[in-house]
Amino acid sequence: MGVLQKSQTLTSSENPEKVRMARYALLRKILLGFIVISVLNLAISHLFYTPKMWSLGKRNRELVLKYGILQDRIRTLQSRIDEVHHRDIYVYRALFSVDSLSLNGVYTPYPDSKYASLQGDEYSSLMDKTWRDMDALARSTYAASLSLDELQIMAKNKENMSFAIPAIWPIDRTQLQGFYAFGVRSKHPIFKTRRMHKGVDLSCNRGVPVYATGDAVVQMTDEGMRRRGYGRQVLLNHDFGYKTRYAHLNKIFVKKGDRVTRGQIIGEVGSTGGSTGPHLHYEVIYMGRNVNPVNYFNKNMTSDEYKQLMENMKYNTDLETE
Ligand SMILES: [Zn+2]
């Protein structure tokens, strides 16, 4: 029991010392390890990371500068597009008497959600503004381009229009013997009532050639009734809202669907239908309404001739019974 106690005492007095030493050694090693790692880390970060961070910083500053230049360029382009837009509205479209192109929503900015990914860092306001300006520029460029396309078509149409609109006399004026005006008749020869005369009557000899007064497509030809109405007639469709009618013809030289050009002979003056003597009844119809054909003779008429024509106009109707 005594020996055992002694040996136990010895062990318990030696072992704590050893354990403490062992623990101390371990702690020292760990601490040393930490110190070494920290020093290495500091050295490595000093040698490698800092220049990288420095270069990143430099690149950031350069990017900010480049964004500034980009914004300047966007502003310049936007002001040029604005000038084009202004000319489009106040010059080109005024020339063709058309309203400005309406593209619903083309100038409305995109929703904020489109720019959400640009948020969240110190450069977000710069990026956000640049992208918004760039999108606005893209939208106005698109609108301007569409508008110019439309103007190009209008310019082409205007050229066609100048050929299509009725603009000459439908017969040779030297053959003209009498002129009966457009408008309200003072007295209808048969019905004895006031009636609207839908065209002008150009009296001349039977067989005088009748000209198409503008480029057109023959919409209709009709043999008519023997003693009533328009008799033999041709209706031309000139597009752009214009139609012309040539009635009481003796002969017709065109058929439905034919394409005719201004000055082309389409028939001969006669006295078919409700007519008492050879004459051409000529109508100009614009957007479905009969208008005064005299206003469409001016292409080859001087103002003196026009005045004379107006003075010599007759309002009685000896020639028609329709
Ligand atoms: Zn008439």
pLDDT band at 247 (very low <50, low <70, confident <90, very high): very high
Distance from the CA of 254 to the center of ligand 1, in angstroms? 21
Is the pLDDT confidence value at 23 over 50?
yes
Instruction: State mean pLDDT over 306-315.
Output: 66
- Range from 60-69, 227-236, 306-315 carrying the lowest mean pLDDT: 306-315
Is the pLDDT confidence value at 112 over 80?
yes
Distance from the CA of 217 to the center of ligand 1, in angstroms? 22
**Averaged confidence pLDDT in the chain:** 84
| pTM for this model (two decimals) | 0.58
The domain spans of the chain are 2-164, 173-311
Distance from the CA of 310 to the center of ligand 1, in angstroms? 17
Report how far residue 216's alpha carbon sits from residue 287's, in angstroms, rounded to the nearest whole number: 15
Report how far residue 256's alpha carbon sits from residue 217's, in angstroms, rounded to the nearest whole number: 8
220: left (phi over 0), alpha (psi -120 to 50) or beta: beta
Is the pLDDT confidence value at 104 over 70?
no
Rg (CA), the chain: 48
Distance from the CA of 201 to the center of ligand 1, in angstroms? 5
Q: Which residues contact 295 (CB under 8 A, 6 or more apart)?
A: 284
pLDDT of residue 89: 82
Is the pLDDT confidence value at 3 over 70?
no
Instruction: State mean pLDDT over 293-306.
Output: 74
Instruction: State mean pLDDT over 195-220.
Output: 93
Is the pLDDT confidence value at 169 over 80?
yes
Is the pLDDT confidence value at 315 over 60?
no
Distance from the CA of 319 to the center of ligand 1, in angstroms? 8
Q: Which of 273, 225, 218 is nearest to 248 (CA)?
A: 273
Distance from the CA of 170 to the center of ligand 1, in angstroms? 13
Distance from the CA of 320 to the center of ligand 1, in angstroms? 6
Instruction: State mean pLDDT over 290-308.
Output: 76
pLDDT of residue 243: 97
Distance from the CA of 255 to the center of ligand 1, in angstroms? 22
Residue 309 and residue 179 in contact, taking contact as beta carbons nearer than 8 Å: yes
Distance from the CA of 141 to the center of ligand 1, in angstroms? 54
* Residue at token pair 């100038």: 107
Distance from the CA of 206 to the center of ligand 1, in angstroms? 16
Q: Which amino acid is at 207?
A: G
Distance from the CA of 36 to the center of ligand 1, in angstroms? 116
**More confident of the two residues 303 and 164:** 164
Reported as type and span, the H/E element at residue 87 is helix 50-87
Distance from the CA of 202 to the center of ligand 1, in angstroms? 8
Distance from the CA of 162 to the center of ligand 1, in angstroms? 26
DSSP 41: H
Distance from the CA of 190 to the center of ligand 1, in angstroms? 14
pLDDT tens figures, 130-162: 889 999 998 888 888 888 888 888 888 888 888
pLDDT of residue 149: 87
Distance from the CA of 253 to the center of ligand 1, in angstroms? 21
* Alpha-helix residue ranges (DSSP H) falling in 165-275: none
Distance from the CA of 200 to the center of ligand 1, in angstroms? 5
Distance from the CA of 199 to the center of ligand 1, in angstroms? 5
pLDDT of residue 232: 96
Classify domain 173-311 by CATH number.
2.70.70.10
pLDDT tens figures, 251-273: 999 999 999 999 999 999 999 99
pLDDT of residue 211: 96
